[in-house]
Structure 1
Amino acid sequence: MTDLSTDADASCRNLRLLIALRWVAVAGQVFAIAIVQLWLKIPLPITEMGLVILLLMGLNLLSIRRCTRPRTVSDVELCAELLADVAALTIQLYLSGGATNPFISLYLLQVILGAVLLSPGATWVIVGVSSACFIVLMRVYRPLDMAGFSHHLPAMDLHTQGMFLCFLLASALVVLFVTRINENLRRRDARLAELRQRAVEEEHVVRMGLLASGAAHELGTPLSTLAVILNDWRHMPKFHDDAELVEELDEMQAALARCKAIVSHILIAAGETRGERARRTTLSTFLNDMVGRWTDSRRPTALDYRNGIDTRVEIASDSVIEQALFNVFDNALEASRTQVSIAAEVLGDDLLVRVTDDGPGFSPEALLHFGTPYQSSKAGAGRGLGLFLAVNVLRKLGGAIAAGNRAEGGARVELRLPIRALAVDAAPGTHHPHPAGTSDEASHVA
């Protein structure tokens, strides 16, 4: 699997490294020209060499503009960038002694960068062009005028020192830039590995959703049959005259109604009746109603619920998000000793729901594998799917979930979801303040 945004990000970072290297080359050329011209008193063609430096600066500005585009920087573009640097180096060497210039070995830097950044074919192009330029400079160049050289240093010693400086410069640049390029490549590989893992998890979610939807359809018929049978039993004299049996029939019908509601909820979550059942509400009301339904069905011993949302944001209620939050609430309830706390607030354009409990907290292994399927400290097969589904639902909607342990003991789970994922109007930031004196803040302890 290939992710275009990941490839584009990595290739743009590599191009930025080439841009940075070119700025170093520009500064180095200006410094070297100043030293040779002013200190060593060796005349150089300043105008021509200065024009090459200006061309390099212009190329850098164009390359910076190219980095602003989201499109992937291709192998051909990177090869062209390196060939431009080879051409600029060749012209500067031609104007300053050709192959006798100790900085001739800087061609190796371009070859090394090509080997790291480019495909084998493009790298060999850099090698061929650099070698050809080297051969040409052995025969065609402007020799340096050493007549004005004012130092009592033999030319051979000067050349040797220049080669040493070139070696230091090339070594430092190779270590610096090749290390950063490898870091970019490792970051890209890590991102691709993460995307592959995400694809596997999302495929797992899809299979579970298909299984749940299919099971809901299959359960519809037997549940309807049981409802008919129970209704017939209620009208039979032997059941109708026995108060104890009537009470048991009532309990059975209530349980059956609960099963049918769960099946309907699965179908709604699968999208089969979403259009009919979706309703407009406010974010604060949605949370209040959701926590109320969870409290009625789970009956927690003590619940501290705080709704700190004081903005009236219209949303379309979504049972999938509700079920994801229910899974987190259920985990907190199972882990708690006495109390579960739920706090909701709006931070910027995001809804933040913080769920805490006073239980033993997460183990280091649980935090390491948080949100992966079948990773649970609770006994029994198939456990650990609740948090896995919550993580995937939030991630698909652009949100995130984080877990940790509280300093005073117990676990903490924070869910962050962009409000635009729920809002009726998809545009972000559609927050409408309350009229004066009103608020949706709610707090209760059950």
Structure 2
Amino acid sequence: MALPNLSVSGHDEPLKRLFWLRNATLIGLVLLMLWSELGLGVKLPWLEMGITLFLLAGLNAFTAWRLKWGSPVRPPEILTQLMADLAGLTVLLLYTGGWANPFVSLLFLPVVLAALLLPDRLAWLTGALALGAYSLLAYLHIPLNIPPEKAFYLHISGMWFNFAASVLLVLYFVLRLRNRLQQRERELAAYREDTLRNEQVLGVALTAASAAHELGTPLNSLALLNEGLLAQADADSREDLELMRSQIARCKAILKDLSLTAQARPRYSVIPADQYLTRIVDEWRLLRPNVSARINWHGTEPAPGIHPPASLDRSLLNILDNAANASKDEVHLEGSMANQGLRIDILDTGPGPAPALRAMAAPGTSGKDGLGLGLFLTNASIERLGGHVTLSDRNGGGTRVSVWVPMQNLESRA
């Protein structure tokens, strides 16, 4: 799992926020102007304010077109947009009383956005320009033509609307910021957990590779001794020696599989899914001849062709081993297609899924009752294939281990 990109820049999300916030601001300003003119009798400079609003609307139309490009949005572009908003608000306030206008705190909005979306240097620049605009409005403004009897009411009403807008904006931005921080914490926690798991898997893989290399020579020596003993064996001991030879051959095959897994090479070319599962079970029966194994394919006929990696083989063999150790008498494997993936259910008659869940969480546990390191590694291997492993109670007692792998990761690779 790659570490998520925590930077705000580099995508169009900040520009989308500016687009929708500017839309809301323009609509609110138009409604406020209509209320002031028609409800309170305040004479507004509609020409100058209309031109300013038209230019801001044109900027938003350009922003909507810009969002369709799909190219990354950089901090200088965000800064330019905020400067345009700051200039537009300053002009509107200039024609409506300047710093005496109760809505003068709207100049604070670009500063808040800059603090959230821009690097420190550009955020400070935005704050300085907003302070300069506010100071300019103290000396350069056109007083509103307000009826004297309505001046105080208008000021109080404006303060109320200004406070309401401030509450909504603060809640919106603070909640969005809090949610983003919580999401980042979850992503970082998942990243740390995945990194720790990868380190554990890597350590086991290095140990396995070393063991495979060291076991090669003793197995070859045992194979030669076995051949020599077979040549001189009588009928009574030949059966045991034949079993020994098959087990030595199986050990060699396992070492070869470890090598293929390390090289990320599959053991099979394209093979129907039902035949693949049958081969896995037949191979496992050589290791556990005393445990009965049944296999059923419930998917489509004919079964789709897959190109399984060697890691999937080892994972299924591990689960079958765990199931056999837990139930002692019979293991049942079911294959099917589900949610555009291959689903494999392995059922046993053991003590249930609770011990298995503890084993998956604690990879250092022993192999008693079919649990331990193998199940932990199996879960990690399946997750690397984009799939997942789930454990549940089996009807009638025991555990159902369900493995699901997406078909796109089992298709033939050129």
CA distance in 2 between counterparts of 1:254 and 1:53 reads 82
Residue in 2 that maps onto 1:229 = 225
Q: Answer yes or no: is 1:280 the counterpart of 2:283.
A: no
Q: CA-atom RMSD, angstroms? A: 3.5
Relative to 1, partners in 2 of residues 1:255 and 1:326: Cα closer, same or farther, differing over 3 Å? closer
Matched position secondary structure for 2:21: helix
Matched position secondary structure for 2:103: helix
Residue in 1 that maps onto 2:136 = 136
Question: Contact 1:328–1:390 at 8 Å: present in 2 too?
Answer: yes
Instruction: Give 1:415's aligned amino acid.
Output: V
Residue in 1 that maps onto 2:68 = 65
CA distance in 2 between counterparts of 1:424 and 1:14 reads 41
Where does 1:50-61 land on structure 2 (aligned, <5 Å)? Answer: 50-61=53-64
Instruction: Give 1:351's aligned amino acid.
Output: L
Which is worse superposed, 167-176 or 1-10?
1-10
Question: Contact 1:116–1:178 at 8 Å: present in 2 too?
Answer: no
CA distance in 2 between counterparts of 1:366 and 1:59 reads 58
Relative to 1, partners in 2 of residues 1:247 and 1:315: Cα closer, same or farther, differing over 3 Å? closer
Residue in 1 that maps onto 2:258 = 266
Out of 296, 313, 327, which is 1:305 matched to? 296
CA distance in 1 between counterparts of 2:92 and 2:279 reads 74
CA distance in 2 between counterparts of 1:318 and 1:379 reads 28
Offset, 1:195:
2.1
Residue in 2 that maps onto 1:315 = 306
Question: Contact 1:305–1:342 at 8 Å: present in 2 too?
Answer: yes
CA distance in 1 between counterparts of 2:80 and 2:138 reads 24
CA distance in 1 between counterparts of 2:360 and 2:76 reads 41
Q: What per-residue deviation string (whole Å, max 9, x for no partner) do you get for residues 373-393 of structure 1?
A: 51658559x963223322332
Offset, 1:194:
1.4
Instruction: Give 1:313's aligned amino acid.
Output: P
Where does 1:392-411 land on structure 2 (aligned, <5 Å)? Answer: 392-405=380-393, 410-411=398-399
Where does 1:7-406 land on structure 2 (aligned, <5 Å)? Answer: 7=7, 12-46=12-46, 47-62=50-65, 64-65=67-68, 68-69=70-71, 71=72, 73-146=73-146, 149=147, 152-153=149-150, 155-236=151-232, 240=233, 242-271=234-263, 274=265, 277-295=267-285, 297-298=287-288, 299-301=290-292, 303=294, 305-336=296-327, 340-363=331-354, 367=357, 371-372=360-361, 374=363, 379=368, 384-405=372-393
Matched position secondary structure for 2:353: coil
CA distance in 2 between counterparts of 1:181 and 1:303 reads 54
Question: Contact 1:306–1:344 at 8 Å: present in 2 too?
Answer: yes
Offset, 1:260:
1.6
Relative to 1, partners in 2 of residues 1:302 and 1:7: Cα closer, same or farther, differing over 3 Å? same
Question: Contact 1:403–1:413 at 8 Å: present in 2 too?
Answer: yes
Residue in 2 that maps onto 1:431 = none
Question: Contact 1:86–1:107 at 8 Å: present in 2 too?
Answer: yes
Relative to 1, partners in 2 of residues 1:423 and 1:159: Cα closer, same or farther, differing over 3 Å? same
Q: What per-residue deviation string (whole Å, max 9, x for no partner) do you get for residues 265-304 of structure 1?
A: 21222228x48x5423223322232234335543544646
CA distance in 1 between counterparts of 2:32 and 2:303 reads 65
Offset, 1:178:
1.8
CA distance in 1 between counterparts of 2:182 and 2:56 reads 33
CA distance in 1 between counterparts of 2:256 and 2:88 reads 71
Matched position secondary structure for 1:398: coil
Instruction: Give 1:22's aligned amino acid.
Output: R
Matched position secondary structure for 1:401: strand
CA distance in 2 between counterparts of 1:408 and 1:27 reads 65
Answer 1 or 2: higher relative contact order, Cα 8 Å, separation at least 6: 1
Instruction: Give 2:51's aligned amino acid.
Output: E
TM-score by length of 2: 0.84
CA distance in 1 between counterparts of 2:17 and 2:207 reads 49
CA distance in 2 between counterparts of 1:90 and 1:138 reads 11
Instruction: Give 1:259's aligned amino acid.
Output: C
Offset, 1:245:
4.2
TM-score by length of 1: 0.78
Offset, 1:228:
1.7
Relative to 1, partners in 2 of residues 1:252 and 1:310: Cα closer, same or farther, differing over 3 Å? closer
Question: Contact 1:98–1:142 at 8 Å: present in 2 too?
Answer: yes
Offset, 1:124:
1.3
Residue in 1 that maps onto 2:409 = 421
Instruction: Give 1:287's aligned amino acid.
Output: L
Question: Contact 1:96–1:143 at 8 Å: present in 2 too?
Answer: yes
Question: Contact 1:284–1:309 at 8 Å: present in 2 too?
Answer: no
Q: What per-residue deviation string (whole Å, max 9, x for no partner) do you get for residues 344-388 of structure 1?
A: 22235322223444544333x965x784451658559x9632233
Instruction: Give 1:416's aligned amino acid.
Output: W
Unpaired segments ≥5 residues, structure 2: none
Relative to 1, partners in 2 of residues 1:160 and 1:192: Cα closer, same or farther, differing over 3 Å? same
